[in-house]
Amino acid sequence: MLVMFLVLLWVYRWRNPRCKGKLPPGSMGLPLLGETLQFFSPNTSMDISPFIKDRMKRYGPVFKTNLVGRPVIVSTDPELNHFVFQQEGRLFQSWYPDTFTEIFGKQNVGSMHGFMYKYLKSLVLKLFGTESLKETLIHEVESSAWRSLHSWSQFSSIELKEATATMIFDLTAKKLISYESSNSSENLRESFMAFILGLISFPIDIPGTAYHKCLQGRKKAMEMLKSMLIKRRNNNSDTKQCGDFFDFVIEELKKERTVLTETIALDLMFVLLFASFETTSLALTLAVKFLHDHPRALEELKDEHEKIIRKREDLSSGITWQEYKSMNFTFQIINETVRLANIVPGIFRKALKDIQVNGYTIPAGWGVMVCPPAVHLNPEMYKDPLTFNPWRWKNKSELCGGTKSFMAFGGGMRFCVGTEFTKLQMAVFLHCLVTKYRWRTIKGGNIVRTPGLRFPDGYHIKLHKRE
């Protein structure tokens, strides 16, 4: 009887957590599991996931739940989301569930706060900041796009998500660590692919599960990165610098009172490699599919880029920074694509103290999940939110940054440092694609969210050189 009483008491306390105030409505789900299974349930729609949508109807825009064993407040309220972002470092701090920390590393940039986060951000901007984009990256991105498109046009079909991911990974890995797959005995990208397949999966670390494969992929990739860094550090004093991110890292590690450690540097490298190619390749694939399905948008995009070429004194010259910044309709396409893509299903923070909002209490130590899809697909903010309509972005300030109604690239002090690089890659690729090529869909293009975005059957297209 005593055991039964203790079990019932434990279950009761799980479902009714203590709070110095009034918790938002919601359910904590099953003991230990919480509502994790429902959260990871597949969704084949562009719409808000059933997990979020059902609870919004039942509880309102802010509700409590439990994910992978941690109590979480989910916010679909634009005002609360904005408040959370603006109060980082005071009332909230960046946080992700323990499973994410295992995957990305305990000292990854997302887990850093205050000075250390700003320091790492400044390091990244040395390579991916505006000056670097203007002087070198815009030309390198264009060259990579032309080479890739020419190569792909030789095949009867290509799977676009895989092809663009390879293109972007090759470029980014070269800029970060001077890695070239053709000159390496080990395939670094294969380790990342194993990692990606289990990134947003149910966190059971048992051989055979996607999560286990994810951790093994991370382990192998980290071993390769560490080996490269050690080799470069040993050779650095006698060899010419490569002009990549490793150079910045090695210079920082040499300093007497540096705050950078090898572990932090490797975790940062890992996150940058992943973030740079996986999210951008998903967005590019979706953009191409949207353009194929919406001929009017494709024609206007072609017109914009053909006008850019016609204005050049030298028709064979590459894209200039001024031309890139003039691609207004292209940016509208990009914004509409990432609004609908919702590649990041949740942005996590943690309450540093008990916080009173809208008559409820967010307890200290609880996670807060800001939910971008619930904002991006809110009919009160976007008319016909599930419709691809790039014209809705005409003359909108959101093209320059995050707002209460647009957070595809985050918000607050953690607004994505790679946003401009991502937009540059997408814009330049679309320029090369629509000015010299046309394409037709062979098969695929369907999506599934678990809760991250995937193309389970790929998106296979045939490229043709325009006459």
CA-wise closest residue to 348 among 84, 38, 19, 55: 84
**C-alpha–C-alpha distance, residues 93 and 90, integer Å:** 8
Helix (H, G, I), strand (E, B) or coil at 74: strand
Residue 214 among known ligand-binding residues: no
CA-wise closest residue to 404 among 92, 75, 80, 78: 78
Residues sharing a CB contact under 8 Å with residue 264, sequence separation 6 or more, in sequence order: 107, 120
* Residues β-bridged to residue 65: 72
User: Long-range contacts made by residues 192-196, C-beta under 8 angstroms, separation at least 24?
Assistant: 192/217, 192/221, 192/273, 192/274, 192/277, 192/278, 193/217, 194/220, 195/103, 195/221, 195/274, 196/274, 196/278
**C-alpha–C-alpha distance, residues 47 and 37, integer Å:** 19
CB 243 within 8 A of CB 83: no
CA-wise closest residue to 63 among 113, 105, 29: 29
Annotated binding site for heme: 416
Q: Which residues are annotated as a binding site?
A: 416
